[in-house]
C-alpha cells in the first residue's frame, strides 16, 4: 500500500495538480493518525477540494480507496486530475514495429507495407508519437536458430525440445522466466537493416523511439512490458510525464506486438484505440482472436477517417469509469517511484 506520508517528498512534480493537492491534504491528516486515513477523513478532506470543480468527491475517492486506505499510481492521479479539472484530453500515437524485417525481410507480414501511408497521414494530428521497435541481440531467445542449437534450454514441461524444434513451433523455454515461446526466424537484430524503420515511414519531428526485446532470455511483444512482466520499457512513464489520457495504436503485427501493446495500454488505464486500416497480422485466425481479446478488455477499433475528429475530443467524463475498470491493478502500483510493481493477472 502506498505510504501517504511519502507522497510529498517522492512526487514533488505532482503536488501542484488538483488531485495531488487533495492527496497532499490527506498526507497532513494521516500524519496525525498513525499513517492511516479512514474513508470518512478522505471524503471530508476531498470534498472541499473537488466540489468546487463539479466533481462528485465520493465517487472519486471510492475509485482510489480500498478499505479506507488511499491507493496511489501515476495513471490514477492523471485520470483523477482529468476528471476533476475538465482539461482537454491528451492523445498519443503508438506506432508498433514498422520495421524492414516485418515488411520485406525475414518475418514479412502479408501487406505489411499497406500500413505505412495510413500512419503517415495520421501522424501530423498527434503531438506525442512513440515508435516501438524490436531490438534483439543475436542470441535472443525468440530465434529458432538459437533454440535449435540449445543456446537456450527448453523446460522439462515442453512437449517439443529445442534440438527437435521447427520454425514457428511453440516451446516452453527455461528463461528465466519460464514461458511459452513461439520460435521465429532471426529478425530485427540490433544495428541491422532489418531492424530499421521502413524507408517510407515518415520521421515526425516529435517522435520518440522505444526499443524492446533487448533481454536475451525473454521476448517482448508489448511496447510496455516483456512477455513475463519482469521488466518494462520507458513508454509508460513517458506517456504519464506528458499527461497522456488516450492512446491510438497501429503497426505490425495485429496478433502479437500490436495486440499486446494495446492490451497493456488498456490495463494501465489509458483509453486505447486501434486503427483498423493501420494494422496487419501474421495469420487471420490469430489476428481475429487478438481483436476479440482486445475488445473484451475495452480497446476500441476505429477507421482512420475518424482520427482527425477523435483527437479533438475534450470530454473526459469517462475517466472515472475507467478508474473503476482498472482499479484492481493499482494496489501497489508505481513503477515511477522505486516501489515494487505487481503486474495484474491477465
Catalytic residues: 97, 212, 257
Q: Following CA atoms 227, 231, 234, 240 in sequence, which dihedral angle do they give, to the nearest 10 degrees?
A: 90
Element (H, E) at 63: helix 57-63
**SS3 annotation, 87-149:** CCCCEEEEEECCEHHHHCCCCCCCCHHHHHHHHHHHHHHCCEEEEEEECECCCCCCEHHHHHC
Element (H, E) at 240: helix 235-241
**Residue 180 vs residues 172, 255, 259: alpha-carbon distances, Å:** 4, 16, 17
User: Buried b vs exposed e over 314-324: b needs ≥16 C-beta within 10 Å?
Assistant: eebebbbebbe
Element (H, E) at 308: helix 307-310
- CA dist., res. 90 & res. 311, Å (int): 8
Amino acid at each position: 500500500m502506498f505510504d501517504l506520508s511519502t507522497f510529498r517528498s517522492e512526487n514533488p512534480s505532482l503536488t501542484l495538480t488538483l488531485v495531488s493537492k487533495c492527496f497532499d491534504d490527506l498526507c497532513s491528516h494521516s500524519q496525525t493518525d498513525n499513517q492511516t486515513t479512514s474513508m470518512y477523513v478522505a471524503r471530508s478532506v476531498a470534498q472541499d477540494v473537488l466540489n468546487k470543480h463539479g466533481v462528485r468527491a465520493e465517487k472519486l475517492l471510492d475509485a482510489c480507496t480500498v478499505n479506507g486506505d488511499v491507493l496511489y499510481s501515476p495513471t490514477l492521479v492523471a485520470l483523477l486530475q482529468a476528471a476533476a479539472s475538465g482539461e482537454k484530453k491528451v492523445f498519443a500515437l503508438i506506432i508498433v514495429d514498422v520495421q524492414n524485417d516485418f515488411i520485406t525481410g525475414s518475418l514479412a507480414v502479408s501487406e505489411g507495407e499497406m500500413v505505412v501511408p495510413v500512419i503517415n497521414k495520421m501522424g501530423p494530428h498527434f503531438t506525442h508519437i512513440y515508435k516501438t521497435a524490436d531490438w534483439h541481440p543475436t542470441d535472443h531467445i525468440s530465434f529458432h536458430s538459437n533454440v535449435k542449437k540449445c543456446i537456450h534450454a527448453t523446460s522439462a514441461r515442453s512437449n517439443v525440445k529445442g534440438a527437435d524444434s521447427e520454425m514457428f513451433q511453440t516451446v516452453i523455454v527455461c528463461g528465466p522466466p519460464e514461458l511459452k515461446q513461439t520460435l521465429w526466424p532471426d529478425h530485427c537484430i540490433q544495428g541491422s537493416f532489418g531492424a530499421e524503420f521502413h524507408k517510407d515511414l515518415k520521421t515526425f519531428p516529435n517522435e520518440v523511439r522505444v526499443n524492446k526485446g533487448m533481454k536475451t532470455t525473454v521476448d517482448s511483444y508489448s511496447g510496455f512490458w516483456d512477455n513475463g512482466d519482469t521488466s518494462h520499457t520507458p513508454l509508460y512513464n513517458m506517456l504519464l510525464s506528458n499527461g497522456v489520457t488516450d492512446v491510438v495504436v497501429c503497426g505490425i503485427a495485429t496478433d502479437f506486438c500490436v495486440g499486446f501493446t494495446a492490451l497493456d495500454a488498456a490495463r494501465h488505464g489509458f483509453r486505447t484505440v486501434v486503427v483498423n486500416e493501420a494494422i496487419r497480422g501474421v495469420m487471420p485466425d490469430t489476428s481475429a482472436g487478438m481483436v476479440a481479446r482486445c475488445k473484451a478488455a475495452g480497446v476500441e477499433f476505429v477507421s482512420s477517417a475518424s482520427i482527425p475528429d477523435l483527437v479533438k475530443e475534450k470530454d473526459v467524463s469517462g475517466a472515472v469509469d475507467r478508474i473503476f475498470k482498472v482499479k484492481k491493478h493499482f494496489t501497489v502500483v508505481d513503477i515511477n517511484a522505486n516501489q515494487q510493481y505487481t503486474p495484474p493477472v491477465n
